[in-house]
Structure 1
Amino acid sequence: MSNAQEKVINEINEKDIKFVRLQFVDIHGTPKNISVSLGKGEDIEELFEDGMLFDGSSVDGFVEIHESDLLLRPDAETFSSLPWRPEESGVARLICDIYTPEGKPFAGDPRSILKKTLEKLEAKGLSYNVGPEPEFFIIDQDVEGNYFPIDQGGYFDVEPTDLGTDFRRQLVTDLEKLGFNPEGSHHEVAPGQNEIAIKFDNALKTADAVITFKQAIKAIVDTMGYQATFMPKPFFGENGSGMHCHQSLFKGNENLFSDENSPDGLSQKSKYFVGGILKHASALSAVCAPTINSYKRLVPGYEAPVYKAYGLKNRSALIRIPAARGKATRIEYRCPDPTCNPYLAFAAMLEAGLDGVENKIDPGAPVEQNIYKMSEEELAKSGIETIPSSLWEAYHALEEDPIIKNALGDHIYNAFLELKKAEWDDYRIQVFGYEQRKYMSI
């Protein structure tokens, strides 16, 4: 038994924890769990040794009914109490990896996909760090069921205009109890919109943090009588919610994106990494902006990144490189939104970047002018293309990109594509109020 497992068993006994949730995610990144009632400490010891069988046939992207059995194996490093649950109920959480009954990693487990990708990198002595900035809206409903934001605040506003101050303080406090280090929090641009940035860390730990973060925010805001939504574009005419991802490669304590001897402080490796993400940007959008609503956010004019370009300061480009240098050198990929499955998104981003490094894909010169104001002729002259404008375009781009397909693995790629095609087909046959108002009189 590992030291981490022994530590978990001791904590369960000391705190008299009654229930442990064995948590995993489906292909969409939606948290699922099985709650286990603990009699004695040996119960959790058995879980570490034997795992727990469960029916995977009803989970999106997993298995068919004739091959339903799968096995949950808890990762002791992810043990945490749940601060939004009553203390007297003694509830804790363990994130699990999923295996087949034969003990092999399950090809449809998103967490295992990221672990597999990171293990290939670690074999080269490298590590991949990510720092996401998930945005969300705090909303309420009127008596007719219509949603509206809880305030009319704007960027960096304070109370009383910003009504999210108490929510964010409680969220940050509870996230710290969960072992995470939120880097900063503030009101965002749109009414009712907030951001809590997650500190730059190992990609697997960060992906775990994103899942817990979204779950915690929804649970905590619910206890306060409101709702939280990570829907990318909940309100027409307002900025949408993104999840910009800061990322870099390390070798030990050395940031491989930094080069103090270059004029801009950036290594050639960092630029090749940017080149890889730009090359695969269309297919990446299917994984990083995976819903129909995602593309209501990805339109010019709302600070949304739609142009395949990078800049050192430019927020109108798909990739921005913040001013920090040295160990803090990083690239900021601005397409992802918080509906993505972070395990799959991080694996796909890493594989795209590594393709750029391995094949020395030159991203060209940085673009430092406002791309939103460039004419069609200027865009064409600069060679700046756009990412897909719909989920339909995005998943077709994914079909044509072997690097991103391989990052997902055959099982997840095929299941993901099937689900996205079904989602698009369901959407395209709907008739909306806009269409009735526009065309009914014809």
Structure 2
Amino acid sequence: MNDSRLEAARAEARRLTGLGIRGVALTWVDNAGLTRVKAVPVARLAQVAGRGVGMSPVFDVYLVDDSITSSPHIGGPDGDLRLFPDLDRVTPLAAQPGWAWAPADRFDQQGRTHPACQRQFASRMAARAAERGIEMRMGFETEWVVARGTDRAGGADGARGAAGTRFAGAAGPAYGMARLVELSDYLGDVLDALATQGVDVLQIHPEYAPGQFEVSVSPADPVGAADLAVLVRETIRAVSVRHGLTALFGPVVTAGGVGNGCHVHLSLWREGRNLCRGGDGPFGMTRQSEAFLAGVLRELPALLAVGAPSVASYLRLEPSRWAGAYQCWGLENREAALRFVAGAPDDRAGANAEVKSFDAAANPYLAAGSLIAAGLAGIDADLTLPAPVAGDPVRGSGERRLPTSLPEALEHFTASAVLREALGDPLFEAIAAVRHAEAELFEGASPQEIADATRGRY
């Protein structure tokens, strides 16, 4: 570790100690979409910044139930990696007094980048875009369902669900003020905690399903946006615990109900100009922006194995539920998998695209990096968008349904030369192995059994 990094780590440790911080949680997100952690005392932060913290590479082939599979490059009990905290992202946690958080990058024992490090994959893809003069901005929407107590099953508030629990914040209609009133203290504490942590919240509101809420935050660079997705989720989780509630982020909470999405908004910028507007392409997008979005749209069947990675994801990905079940795009069309937002005339930053099909089981670093890879491939191929779709595509003719199961999405993923090249074989094969093993894990399970097993895991 060079002297400047050592001094920065020591200074950060002093700052945290002065704030009463005792421990720092270092997190990474595995290929199953679960946030894993190693925690260290603040007094060891400088040492950890220089030498890292040990962890096994086998976590890259963990499944949602903590069982383990293997891949051609990763698997088994051998080997070790080092977790290095990003000192620029260290954040005292408002809902966990005495604790701070930092995302971690993973390296091998010789200090080389671990080829399956998802966070550094997102960083590489952002750098690849920057080499072309494109600055990517992204933002993740976080949806969750609030359950009373610590049981993780579903059910309407006041009524017993499949496993005997109740939703909180279920009074009144979807998107209704009654739901906000019922949990106003809780949601106010979520806002306070995020603000204290420096997170710029754009909006928070009740969603469609009973006990469901959504929070959106300001866009950031791709790695920063993925970091924020992790921080926002864990903050909501911590605030929920302090209120005696449980936050459920799984793609579905109750089989047959509307699930939790994790939509991704993205825009392309060059020298301060938003490339999603001011051009002569569809709805004012520039030619480069159109080609990028066409690349994302082309690759969506394969991208689902990254952005809708759970068997439970396909219980959510149903038509006429604003989930984006069809491989199409449209202007402000919430049923299209790719929704284009033109933005207000005086809002320079408002124009962007939203990927609707992704959900809360996705590793946000994989999602961010894979979307960039697909978009850049669209630019390379000089793709154009097909005609936009208006209205619900289920009522149209000829619109292509996206994969309806994880095995189907996995077939597209394993055939994707674009994603294999971008991810590299070790990470690509580890993702494929986890998806295949989880499909086998839930083979023969009923929709409700799948929901019960996954809703509280993410």
Q: Rg bigger for which structure?
A: 1
Q: Is the 8 A contact 1:4 1:77 kept in 2?
A: no
Alignment check: 8 A CA contact 1:164 1:192 kept: no
Q: Using the TM superposition, give the Cα deviation of residue 209 of structure 1 relative to its aligned residue in structure 2, in angstroms.
A: 0.8
1:355 maps to 2:374: no
Match of 1:99 in 2: 107
1:147 maps to a residue whose letter is: T
Secondary structure of the residue that 1:283 maps to in structure 2?
A: helix
Partner Cα distance (1:300, 1:191) in 2 = 19
What is the aligned partner in structure 2 of residue 440 from structure 1?
A: none
1:154-201 deviations in Å (ceiling 9; x for gaps): 333113675333222211211122221121000001111100012111
1:19-34 residue pairs with structure 2 within 5 A? 19-34=23-38
The answer as to whether partners of 2:13 and 2:42 remain within 8 angstroms in 1 is: no
C-alpha distance after superposition, 1:362-402 (max 9, x if no partner): 1122122332222xxxx22xxx2111001110011111111
Mapping of 1:390-401 within 5 angstroms?
390-401=405-416
Match of 2:366 among 344, 367, 379: 344
Q: Is 2:150 the counterpart of 1:146?
A: no
Cα distance in 2 between the residues matched to 1:318 and 1:372: 12
Q: Does 1:36 align with 2:55?
A: no
Which residue pairs with 1:165 in the alignment? 184
> Aligned-pair distance for 1:358?
1.6
Residue 146 of structure 1 deviates from its aligned partner by 2.2
d(CA) in 1 for partners of 2:179, 2:276: 42
- 1:331 aligns with 353
* Partner amino acid, structure 2, of 1:127: E
Counterpart CA distance in 2 for 1:280 and 1:219 is 36
Q: Answer yes or no: is the 8 Å Cα contact 1:306–1:387 preserved in 2.
A: yes
8 Å contact 1:27–1:109 — kept in the other structure?
no
**CA root-mean-square deviation:** 2.4
- Indicate whether 1:8 and 2:12 are aligned: yes
CA contact (8 A) 2:92 2:100 kept: yes
In the alignment, is the contact (CA less than 8 A) between 1:238 and 1:302 conserved in 2? no
Counterparts of residues 37-116 of structure 1 (less than 5 Å): 37-39=41-43, 43-57=44-58, 60=61, 63-65=74-76, 67-86=78-97, 90-116=98-124
Distance in 1, matches of 2:366 and 2:254, equals 27
- Give the conservation status (yes or no) of the 8 Å contact 2:135–2:269: yes
Q: 1:7 to 1:312 in 2, by over 3 A?
A: farther
Gaps of 5+ in 1: 435-442
Pair 19,233 (structure 1): closer, same or farther in 2 beyond 3 Å: closer
Q: CA deviation at 1:263?
A: 7.4
Between the aligned partners of 2:282 and 2:37, the Cα distance in structure 1 is 50
Identify the residue that residue 430 of structure 2 maps to in structure 1: 415
CA drift of 1:66 comes to 5.3
Q: Provide the residue aligned with 1:437 in structure 2.
A: none
> 2:123–2:222: 8 Å Cα contact kept in structure 1?
no
Which among 116, 131, 137 is matched to residue 129 of structure 1? 137
Q: 1:428 to 1:177 in 2, by over 3 A?
A: same
Structure 1 residue aligned with 2:174: 155
Normalising by structure 2, we get a TM-score of: 0.85
- Partners of 1:393 and 1:165 lie apart in 2 by 42
Q: Secondary structure at 2:424's aligned position in 1?
A: helix
Contact 1:190–1:239 (8 Å) recurs in 2: yes
1:261 & 1:356 partners in 2: Cα distance? Answer: 18
Shift in Å, 1:205? 0.6
CA distance in 2, matches of 1:199, 1:227: 25
Tell whether the 8 Å contact from 1:154 to 1:190 is kept in structure 2 after alignment: no
Encode CA deviations 1:263-321: one digit per residue, 9 max, x unaligned. Answer: 73221222212211111110011110001111111111222211111111222211111
Counterpart CA distance in 1 for 2:14 and 2:380 is 46
Among 231, 246, 260, the alignment partner of 1:212 is 231
Secondary structure of the corresponding residue to residue 280 of structure 1: helix
Q: Distance in 1 between matches of 2:365 and 2:251?
A: 18
Inter-partner Cα distance in structure 1 for 2:254 and 2:447: 15
Most deviating of 240-249 and 263-272: 263-272
Range with bigger deviation, 304-313 or 424-433 = 424-433
The 3-state SS of whatever aligns with 2:389 is coil
| Counterpart position of 2:66 | none
1:288 is aligned to 307
Q: What residue in structure 1 maps to residue 419 of structure 2?
A: 404
The percentage of counterpart residues that share the same residue type is 25
Using the alignment, how far apart are the partners of 1:17 and 1:235 within structure 2? 38
Q: Distance in 2 between matches of 1:160 and 1:306?
A: 28
Q: CA deviation at 1:433?
A: 8.4
In structure 2, runs of 5+ residues without a counterpart are 63-72, 152-159, 450-458
Q: What SS is found at the alignment partner of 1:201? A: coil
- The Cα shift of 1:137 comes to 0.6
Question: What SS does the corresponding residue of 1:20 show, helix, strand or coil?
Answer: strand
